[in-house]
Chains A and B, each alone.
Chain A
Amino acid sequence: DVQLVESGGDLVQPGGSLRLSCAASGFTVSRDYMSWVRQAPGKGLEWVAFISFGTDTYYADSVKGRFTISRDHSKVYLQMNRLRGEDTAVYYCVRHLRLTAVIIDAFDLWGQGTVVTVSS
Chain B
Amino acid sequence: EIVMTQSPATLSVSPGERVTLSCRASQSVSKNLAWYQQKPGQAPRLLIYGASTRATDIPARFSGSGSGTEFTLTISSLESEDFAVYYCQRYNNWPYTFGQGTKLEIK
Contacts and interface: CB of A to CB of B under 8 A. Distances in A.
Majority-rule SS of A interface residues: strand
B32 A105 contact: yes
Contact of A104 (B38, B49, B87): B49
Majority-rule SS of B interface residues: loop
A11 interface: no
Interface string A94-110: 00010000001111101
Nearest to B47: A106
B95 interface: yes
Contacts of A58: 94-95
A106 B101 contact: no
Given A60-B95, A107-B34, A44 B101 contact: yes
Interface residue tally on B, bucketed by range: 20 to 34
Given A92-B43, A111-B43, A113-B43, A45 B95 contact: no
Interface of A: 35, 44-47, 50, 58-61, 92, 97, 104-108, 110-113
Given A45-B87, A47-B95, A47-B96, 4 more contacts: A47-B98, A92-B44, A107-B89, A110-B45
21 contacts: A44-B87, A44-B100, A44-B101, A45-B38, A45-B87, A47-B95, A47-B96, A58-B95, A59-B95, A61-B1, A97-B46, A97-B55, A105-B96, A106-B46, A106-B49, A106-B89, A108-B55, A110-B43, A110-B44, A111-B43, A113-B43
